[in-house]
Structure 1
Amino acid sequence: MPTRQIPVFVLAGFLGSGKTTFLNGLLHNALGVRVGVIINDFGDIPVDSWLVDASVDTMVTLGGGCLCCVTDAGQIDDMLQQLLDPSLEIDAVVIEASGLADPANLALRVSRSSTRGVRFAGVVLMVDACEYLETLRSHPQIAQDGRIADLIVLNKADLVSSSDLDQLMRTLEDSSRGAPVLPTTFGTIDPRLLFDRARHEPPRYGQVPLPFENLERHAHDRHPPHLHDQYTSVSFRTDQPLSPHRFLELLYDRPAGLYRLKGHVRFTVTRGPGAARHPLEVQSVGAHVRFARQRQTPNHPLVDETQLVLIGIGVDAADVAARLADCEADTATSDDRTAMITINRYLD
């Protein structure tokens, strides 16, 4: 009888394309499929792994490093081996690459894994319908990502016109040499595109919290330059609340080169529209900003301080840190209370 082979998918896509939202959707599949996840955060604070729903079956993370540049193939094998623990009963594995990873290199390394009991199942490429053409002008090399994609998920399709959507689909179909392009909103797809129905006794619909583990970052050997080499990651954390007014000003007048901001922000205003006792989740891609209230679960405690990762090209890290520090405040002003009304408009 042939050994059961667990499919391993690579989930790729540029910064802010919706990979984590897409992954959370897969984790709540109704097929009974138990998903193991490998997260490759870009930055010292593991924001992406926090934003993945805490009910993920089991997860390993590589923070501040780059899976596509791992020169020791055994590192990826070690991660996969952790997820193959029989007690976890994992049915599929998804590797969420950082938004600056080289998906072709990562896919090659996964496909050459020597781990018994797994098989490379292909690359799912997330594309931001709002930002793709602009990103393509800045980084024409990302057009090559489509060539190794088995499925292209064209996310945020509801935020562009039908004519622009048609143009995007033609562009992606041409650059991918025929890979299917699936327009979506909020990264939602039918999980049956990726997974077969699982058979567990008793059946397990939804997910079961299992251990959260961390892998230490390994030193990189020399490697050819990749897209992420052009980018800078700035991490900022403070237990002091921030002024909503000053924080919005920073978002409206973004530091030169800043593309992506993510994490949690604690404000001086804790009552009224948009306010919360605990820090709000914040995501910013280009000019698009989203706030959300944290969700607490037994395996996912609330974050109680401001923790942010900012990613950009040519970013002055010292200037960004200074501007964020300038947002710190002891008390709320009338401008802060007015700013919370604006934040409420961006609140999911």
Structure 2
Amino acid sequence: MFTLPDFREKQILFIQPEKEKEYCLRIKNQNIAYEENGKVVNQIPCGKVISLFVLGEISFTSVLLRKCLENGVSIHFLKRNLETYATVGSEASGNYLLRENQYALSDEERMEKARLIVKNKINNQLSLLTSCGMKTISSENLPLLEYRNVLFQKIDNADENRSLLGIEGDMSKKFFQEYFSDIDWRGRVPRGKIDSNNILLDIGYTILFNYIDSLLRLFGFDTYRGFYHRLFFQRKSLSCDIEEPFRCIVEKKLLKMRHLGQINEKDFSYSSKTKQYFLKYEQSTKYAKLFTEAILEEKEEIFQYVKAFYYHTLNNEGDFPFFDRDH
């Protein structure tokens, strides 16, 4: 298992091979080497990488795969729209005691953890609104702190998952409308691609999700067994759960990118056939890099959260972790 000093050196790599050229990833002298037409154009020690994202066509060697698994490196292969189609990752799947405790949770224990996840997410949404100088939500007549207390009471009283989803969904809709009110916000449509804002949020959330999933598997969790996002075929419910408190990282970054003029609408096109917007392939790395930088700024906090969640689950030690955006 990684310690925090070890983890501080870990990086996320994002690789986008150009078309019409031959690219390969291989191991050279314990380094991950990125080759273009047989020549090394970049390299980094394998032990300094936690996640590797590959967008586009590339070759890689079996030695690279083995070394990545030995060093705890997860490799994510992405389509042009940045959707993950395959993942090869290191995991402590033999940690049966941890997984036994995961599977043994009662329905009420799962519900209580779900309540804490939703509270954490809402707390960070309200913190973002406060950071913008907002005192109230326009549709409410309560100061944000009082509104938070009202929502938390509703969460405590929720006795089924569907009620929690309703509370979270209603708050998220209000949050998006308020927080993004000055950037031509048209509503949140996950994977709907109705505009550039939704496309960029999808990109940021995808990178964040895969990063958190990599950490959870390194600690030995079964990421398909969650407690808020219910079991569904091929859905990594636990990774979805743990991502929720950290979505604020992506949302804060999107607003900052807008305010700094880092988003160019010419990077996006509209398809009359699908009636959807899409990000031009050659611009994908630009925005993936911006969101990756934001996630890496919080990488120690994410690591500490997952580590605390590990001990909480394995030994019932300490309180359920809490990510405070105002840390």
TM-score in same-fold range (> 0.5): no
- Higher relative helix content: 2
TM-score range relative to shorter protein: under 0.3
**TM-score (normalised: structure 2):** 0.27
- Higher relative strand content: 1
**TM-score (normalised: structure 1):** 0.26
